[in-house]
Amino acid sequence: MIDLPAAVRAMGTRGPRWQSWVDGLARLIRDHVDEWDLRPDGPAQHGHCSIVLPVRTADGGPAVLKAGFPDEESEHEHLVLRRWAGNGAVRLLRADPPQRIQLLERLHSRNLNELWDIEACEIVAGLYARIHVPPLPQLRSLTEHTAQATTGLAQLPRSAPIPRRLVQQAISLGRELAGDPATTSTVIHGDLHYENVLAAEREPWLSIDPKPMNGDPHYEIAPMLWNRWDELAGYVRDGVRRRLAAVVDAAGLDTDRARAWTLVRMLHNAMWELTETARPDPVWLTTCVAIAKAVAD
């Protein structure tokens, strides 16, 4: 029997597609455990849109079986993991792409939250050099993503609770970046932050859970700024700039381009919060604006 964590069962409240996924999840996992000759080896864990079951393979080796919600962002996760082949990332052992099922090497539970944030930023910057590989034709395009989001941002009413100067700046930068060929020159992780880097046996740290795109490495930085947000209380501007500088310096990126992409991404996040949620979260909106201000000033 597969015991779904309560938090996974609660994902069904997000809508009909989520409920359908949750309803079929236990059987889907059981079927792959049987088909791939696996043995459950501990309680299931979960993220925001997936469940991970520790297993043993037929030869007794440790692994995890991951079942993800069938969203657009994770559609080609298996392709990117196969392309990386364990270089800076968790190793893919087997996949059933239509069902969003993957068999992955088992990593430790420790993540970068246990480290000083600047040290963590430098570790992530070191992973960039390994996972930022030439583009794959199947992946989503950051150019198209940025153009679409910038159009949405331009349609926001002037009364929206975001400083108008930041909106206008993000629109101008977004249009400029969307027209730059470098915006789709590299495979990027898309969601690389402290909790998406785990300790491992074969290497100190490996990335997990990509939301891959053909994009720009400078787009990667923003999640390192908005995660562990409470730690920046009292010195948000300096804390944001310190983290951004740590990543840029360690990765050899361009400061101005990193600041531009961060501002654009945070304004797009704020726009989606205002237009795609029934009750926009004021704390998240404040965070988005604070980071945008920190990199724009």
Give the list of residues 6+ apart from residue 274 with CB closer than 8 angstroms, or none. Answer: 156, 160, 161, 162, 280, 285
Give the HSE-up count for residue 256: Cα atoms under 13 Å, Cβ half-sphere: 2
Gap between the Cα atoms of 161 and 286, Å rounded: 9
In this structure, what is the dihedral angle of CA atoms 228, 230, 233, 236, given to the nearest 10 degrees?
30
Residue with tokens 């990199």: 295
Tokens, residue 208: 């997990």
* Strands (DSSP E) found in 116-204: 140-141, 186-188, 197-199
Residue with tokens 């490996």: 206
As a residue count, the chain comes to: 297
Tokens, residue 225: 């700024």
- Per the CB < 8 A criterion, the answer to whether 260 and 221 are in contact is no
Catalytic (active site) residue 209: no
Tokens, residue 179: 């027209």
Tokens, residue 66: 């991951």
DSSP string, 26-45: HHHHHHHHHHTT-EE-S--E
* Longest distance between any two alpha carbons in the chain, whole Å: 62
The rounded Cα 10 to chain-centroid distance in angstroms is 21
How far apart are the two ends of the chain, measured CA to CA in Å? 55
**Helix, strand, or coil (residue 188):** strand
Catalytic residue among 117, 191, 209, 216: 191
Catalytically active residues are 191
